[in-house]
């Protein structure tokens, strides 16, 4: 089968690779669309902690089941599906606590034997395959994975309540979807920041958020005057070091800071402010089955205009171009999809 393989930092080749071998509990999926994620960009730039060349990138996909293992129930050939790209061991201390997303032995695509989704076929355990609604386009089904990240951050970690004042720092795909999840949870005042006006305009249109260009001088002071009680929750949805201090300064006493962005280097933190304000600083790592089910349901029911997030669709053969656009920001882009079949 054809696959886009990261062969070295900054270079992807289109190669023929072996089709994955079906196991009794597996589903073989003919990939229709694969999403390009921020973690794929980190790998492309040589910054990812464990996805290293040579590797088939990608973990967001939607496609059609073409073959099912003998033990599979609930999924049949011809079903259109997306996958939750996480398999937990089910036996470690964290799995026993119901925290499969931080399983000590979890498996994910693009690491070990599980191939990424930038390929004509993908293999996944049926237990993590989710059927899409008959009216759900595959190019929207592929968004379930990043949406689940926002759902987990908002519903599990931040526990956003109706009327909560919410600040989202970083308006990429995850930031926008986190803002959407916060709006769905009943957030009152919702403010988002980013360095790109295109992203801010999309956030305003989709979420009804107030937006701030993060390069503008004095915006923190202006925001503090506008919201003297500060924010109940701040989400760090980018790996930009300045956002850490911004979150600490703009979150109210007793509030929560939720970290979803991948920071590539240690970042100084004013722990005195954390102590005096008794701030909760929590990591948010991907999702669990509840979050993923919620994401698929929202997409199936058209809860938001998710189509507007997709700014580019390229054939698989142009995976290099897709990642270069994200790396160099040569065009306005939010979610880029690869059309595989």
Same domain, 157 and 55: no
Domain that holds residue 201: 150-283
Q: What's the pLDDT score for residue 251?
A: 98
- Look at residue 166 and tell me if it is in a domain: yes
- Look at residue 211 and tell me if it is in a domain: yes
Q: What is the arithmetic mean of pLDDT over 16-22?
A: 95
Check pLDDT > 90 for residue 307. Answer: yes
Same domain, 313 and 254: no
Q: What's the pLDDT score for residue 112?
A: 81
Q: What's the pLDDT score for residue 51?
A: 86
Same domain, 99 and 209: no
Q: What is the CATH number of the domain that holds 262?
A: 3.40.50.720
Q: What is the CATH number of the domain that holds 334?
A: 3.90.180.10
pLDDT digits 0-9 by tens, 182-211: 999 999 999 999 999 999 999 999 999 999
First to last CA, the chain: 12
Same domain, 189 and 233: yes
Q: How many percent of the chain have pLDDT more than 90?
A: 96
Edge-to-edge strand order for the sheet containing 11-16? 11-16, 2-8, 55-56
- Look at residue 264 and tell me if it is in a domain: yes
- Look at residue 292 and tell me if it is in a domain: no
Contact 338, 36 (CB under 8 A): yes
Same domain, 15 and 136: yes
User: Distance (Å, rounded) from C-alpha 298 to C-alpha 289?
Assistant: 14
Q: What's the pLDDT score for residue 335?
A: 97
Q: How many percent of the chain have pLDDT more than 70?
A: 100
Q: What's the pLDDT score for residue 111?
A: 84
Same domain, 256 and 218: yes
- Look at residue 118 and tell me if it is in a domain: yes
Same domain, 193 and 102: no
- Look at residue 107 and tell me if it is in a domain: yes
Burial of 64 (C-beta count, 10 Å sphere; 0-12/13-18/19+): middle
Same domain, 133 and 154: no
Stated as kind and residue range, the H or E segment containing 32 is: strand 26-36
Same domain, 318 and 264: no
pLDDT digits 0-9 by tens, 65-117: 999 999 999 999 999 999 999 999 999 999 999 999 999 999 999 888 899 99
Check pLDDT > 90 for residue 130. Answer: yes
Same domain, 264 and 311: no
User: Distance (Å, rounded) from C-alpha 164 to C-alpha 188?
Assistant: 5
Contact 173, 38 (CB under 8 A): yes
Same domain, 171 and 137: no
Contact 144, 82 (CB under 8 A): yes
Pairing of strands 11-16, 60-68: unpaired
- Look at residue 290 and tell me if it is in a domain: no
Contact 132, 296 (CB under 8 A): yes
pLDDT digits 0-9 by tens, 151-174: 999 999 999 999 999 999 999 999
User: Distance (Å, rounded) from C-alpha 205 to C-alpha 59?
Assistant: 27
Same domain, 112 and 163: no
Burial of 122 (C-beta count, 10 Å sphere; 0-12/13-18/19+): buried
Stated as kind and residue range, the H or E segment containing 166 is: strand 166-169
Q: Which residues, other chains included, contact 97 with Cβ-Cβ below 8 Å and sequence gap of 6+?
A: none
- Look at residue 13 and tell me if it is in a domain: yes
User: Distance (Å, rounded) from C-alpha 182 to C-alpha 165?
Assistant: 10
Domain count, the chain: 2
């Amino acid at each position: 089968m054809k696959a886009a393989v990261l062969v070295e930092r900054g270079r992807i080749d289109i190669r023929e690779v072996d089709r994955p071998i079906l196991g009794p509990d597996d589903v073989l999926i003919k990939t229709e669309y694969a999403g390009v994620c921020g973690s794929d960009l980190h790998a492309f730039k040589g910054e990812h902690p464990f996805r290293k060349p040579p590797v088939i990138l990608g973990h967001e996909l939607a496609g059609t089941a073409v073959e099912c293992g003998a033990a599979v129930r609930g999924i049949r050939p011809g079903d259109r599906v997306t996958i939750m790209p996480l398999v937990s061991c089910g036996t470690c201390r964290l799995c026993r606590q119901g925290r499969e997303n931080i399983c000590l032995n979890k498996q994910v695509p693009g690491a070990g034997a599980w191939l990424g989704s930038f390929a004509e076929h993908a293999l996944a355990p049926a237990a993590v395959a989710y059927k899409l609604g008959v009216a759900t386009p595959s190019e929207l089904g592929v968004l379930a994975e990043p949406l689940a990240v926002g759902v987990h951050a908002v519903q599990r970690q931040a526990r956003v309540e109706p009327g909560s004042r919410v600040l989202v720092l970083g308006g990429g795909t995850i930031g926008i979807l986190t803002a959407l999840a916060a709006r769905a949870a009943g957030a009152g005042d919702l403010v988002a920041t980013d360095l790109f006006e295109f992203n801010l305009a999309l956030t305003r249109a989709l979420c009804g958020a107030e937006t701030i260009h993060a390069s503008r001088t004095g915006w923190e002071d202006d925001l503090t005057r506008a919201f003297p009680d500060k924010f109940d929750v701040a989400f760090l949805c980018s790996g930009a070091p300045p956002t850490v201090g911004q979150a600490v300064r703009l979150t109210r006493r007793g509030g929560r800071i939720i970290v979803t962005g991948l920071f590539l280097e240690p970042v100084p933190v004013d722990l005195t402010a954390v102590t005096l304000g008794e701030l909760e600083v929590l990591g948010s790592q991907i999702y669990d089955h509840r979050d993923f089910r919620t994401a698929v349901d929202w997409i199936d029911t058209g809860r938001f205009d998710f189509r507007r997030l997709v700014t580019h669709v390229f054939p698989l053969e142009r995976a290099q171009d897709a990642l270069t656009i994200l790396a160099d920001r040569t065009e306005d882009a939010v979610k880029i999809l690869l059309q595989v079949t």
